[in-house]
Amino acid sequence: MPVFDLRELDRPIIGAPMAGGPSTPELAAAVTDAGGLGFLAAGYRSPGNLEDQLGRVRELTAGPVGVNLFVPDSLEPDPEDVARYSNSLRAEASALGVEVGAARNDDDGWHAKLELVLDARPEVVSFTFGCPESRVLATLAQAGILPMVTVTTGEEAQQAVAAGARALAVQGPDAGGHRGAFDQRTIPTDRPLADTLTEIRSQTAVPLAAGGGVSGPDDVVRLLGLGADAVQVGTLLLTADEAGTNPLHRAALTDGRFAETSLTRAYTGRFARGLTNRFIREHADAPAGYPHLHYVTAPLRAAAITAGDADIAHLWAGTGFASARPEPAAAMVERLSPTR
């Protein structure tokens, strides 16, 4: 059965899925209706909540939409490392009036969400944190859904295509939020996105979406010229009118307080890029251990957001964050798109 082709987009802009609240049906629909491809982020949502979001986005747009799923990770970190890190956060948690969370592993509703997308039939289903089994990708393609895998290296790209990925999201080191590397224990490469994209383009003919550090239309033109079929934009969309970004995060992106971003495992045990605040600087020793550490720090992060404490809250952002500004998502898609 034919699947959706990224090369058919009216505008080569993909709204990156941003789990934890920023991705909303309204944002996805706005990006799609502007000629791009909007995404819902299934991560951290219950299957029931995701089902509601899919229903809502179908009410808002008749155009193509995507859904992003987290691939479960079997890594079990050293319990002593996790306990040591948890204990180091207790004073911080107490000052916020909460307790450190209990570390645990789960699959983020993996099987239920797979069944849900097979039933709902979004045009695209993408995967982050690994490559699913070949049978998963094949089942999606047979249902007419484009299976897309996030990759950060040429080796990961080869593995994903061999498994049956029909498109790749090539994530560069400047991207905000979590790195999509298959192995969370590996220190992320700082190889420029341009080099990785060029390598992957030479390896495969499948459609490629490239993203990471996009700050304006010149970046879009450059990535398209290097072989990308579309450009994935995340950080800039955090300040879109339709995004569900919390007020603290929105302000931090635009008020000029923060000058740089850093990669950190401090919040979730998986490397992610965010605005460099005190919490990131003071917890550079956080061990690998996603999603275990995600649950450990969840109460602190929630309390910090409620308290408006930007020194503790996680403030995901790519290196192009200084170009973020409040505006409708449609205006952003139009502004970033090259003239044809």
200 and 117 both lie in a single domain: yes
Assess whether 216 and 227 both reside in one domain.
Answer: yes
**CA distance linking residue 235 with residue 228, whole number of Å:** 19
Residues 11 and 127 both lie in one domain: yes
Q: Give the global pTM.
A: 0.96
Q: How many domains does the chain have?
A: 2
Contacts of 198 (CB under 8 A, 6+ apart): 226, 227
Domain with residue 179: its CATH number is: 3.20.20.70
Looking at the fold, whether 14 and 98 belong to one and the same domain comes out as: no
Domain identity same for 207 and 329: yes
Residue 303 within a domain: yes
Q: What's the Cα-to-Cα distance from 69 to each of 125, 143, 169, 170, 180, rounded to whole Å?
A: 7, 17, 13, 16, 11
Answer whether residue 54 is part of any domain.
yes
Q: Strands 124-128 and 146-151: what pairing?
A: parallel
Let me know whether 44 and 67 are in one domain: yes
Q: Are strands 208-211 and 177-178 parallel, antiparallel or unpaired?
A: unpaired
> Do residues 263 and 188 both lie within one domain?
no
d(CA 243, CA 48): 21
Mean pLDDT of successive 10-residue segments in the chain (340 residues)? 93 98 98 98 97 98 98 94 97 97 96 97 98 98 98 98 98 97 91 98 97 96 98 98 98 96 98 98 96 98 98 98 97 89
Domain extent for 274: 74-104+259-314
Residue 8 has a CB neighbour count (10 Å cut-off) of 10
**Do 20 and 125 lie in a common domain?**
yes
Can you tell me the distance from the alpha carbon of 211 to that of 318, in angstroms, rounded to the nearest whole number? 10
Is residue 330, in this structure, part of any structural domain at all? yes
> What pLDDT score does 340 carry?
56
Q: Are residues 45 and 148 in the same domain?
A: yes
> Do 156 and 14 belong to one domain?
yes
Q: Are residues 42 and 80 in the same domain?
A: no
CB of 213 within 8 A of CB of 318? Answer: yes
Residues 6+ apart with CB under 8 A from 185: 75, 288
Asked if residue 249 is part of any domain, the answer here is no
In a domain, 217, yes or no: yes
The reply to whether 88 and 177 lie within a common domain is no
